Structure 1
Amino acid sequence: MKHLKYLGIIAACIFLYSCSKSEESDEISFSSDIAGFLENSCTACHYGGRQSPDLREQYAYNALIDGEYVLPGNSADSPLVQQLESGHPSAGHLTQSQIDQVKLWIDQGAVNN
């Protein structure tokens, strides 16, 4: 009977550990998941002062946050998402999956990671 008790505790620990790992893997990274495709898709216009915000990879995060294009924790009211969902020209260069990643990143707090 003692062995079943310990087996249950071990199973619960493994389950909780696996749940925490899957939540961590769902975190969107700005530098790994967002910045690259913004630069590839948007810098034909949003580059070096041609049109704000500057979305070159080294400037994109600060330009989006400082320019209030992103409202951390609130993708629905973020101007960036509104532009992408309203038919902004560069939205045609992004997949729905990429737009969903931007929204999730914003909803997760728009961390510079």
Structure 2
Amino acid sequence: MTAAITAFQLIRISADIFSGLTSTGLKANGAARSHDPKAEAALRFARKVVIERGGVAAEDVQSVRAAGYGDAEIVEIVFHVALNTLTNYVNRVEETEIDFPLVQANEPL
């Protein structure tokens, strides 16, 4: 996962976040599912931010807040969606060679 780790290092996030990830866990996360209810709420909210292009309903924010996320953490979730979108755009423009295993989406957004 060299490209991803490099990107995270640029924004000072430790590559340790990748330890313990499994392909099953990544696939579940990609479908906004997790064994952890709080993490699943964040994944569902992030997915909604993507689908609605940021135009989420007040109920969506309330739902993630009810799961235990505060305002700063909600902004952080939105930031991560924006960061992933930005890096995807840059990589498409630059035709970056993917140097880690591709993950196929379970269902289209």
Q: Structure 2 length as normaliser, TM-score? A: 0.32
**Structure having the higher Rg:** 1
- TM-score between both structures, scaled by the size of structure 1: 0.31
